[in-house]
Amino acid sequence: MKITPFLWFDTQAEEAAKFYVSVFKGKLGKPMYQPGTKKVLVMPFEIRGQKIDALNGGPDFKFNESVSFTIHCKDQKEVDYYWEKLLSGGGKESMCGWLKDKYGLSWQVVPDVLLKLMRGPKSARVMEAFMKMRKYDIATLKKAAA
């Protein structure tokens, strides 16, 4: 991997990395410690083949919606799984498949079929349907495209 996302946390880098690894069935890397201490500075982890570094950088910067991760889901079961897991512990729903997890990181939980439906002849109807949704409902999206 030539590009590695680097996520800035206040003090929860290790906790967040463990959370994401549990949600995505990933793996933790070897932590880098602050010199002369046992405090984690950088906690590398990998989810779905993507390496990510989590930094305990302090309270100066917070996540916002200008950066998010998209999860491409094969079916409603996957949409429901990721939606529930990422909201657990204090996450917040938003519109159109977006949410913020308990650390404030934004995610888009998107069924693969949505991309296909948005390229079809009824894309305006599909868009009208999904603009009213928080979590995507595949059956409703397909009905709008019919």
Residues of the chain with CATH 3.10.180.10: 1-60, 63-146
CATH number 3.40.50.1820 given to 63-146: no
Hey, what are 43's tokens? 């906690």
- Say what the pLDDT of residue 34 is: 94
- Say what the pLDDT of residue 1 is: 60
Token pair 């083949």: residue: 49
Average pLDDT over residues 110-124: 95
Angle at 23 between CA 137 and CA 118, to 5 degrees: 30
Q: pLDDT tens digit string along 31-53?
A: 999 999 999 999 999 999 999 99
Q: pLDDT tens digit string along 58-111?
A: 999 999 999 999 999 999 999 999 999 999 999 999 999 999 999 999 999 999
With 0.95 as the threshold, say if the pTM is over it: no
Query: Which CATH homologous superfamily contains domain 1-60?
Result: 2,3-Dihydroxybiphenyl 1,2-Dioxygenase, domain 1 (3.10.180.10)
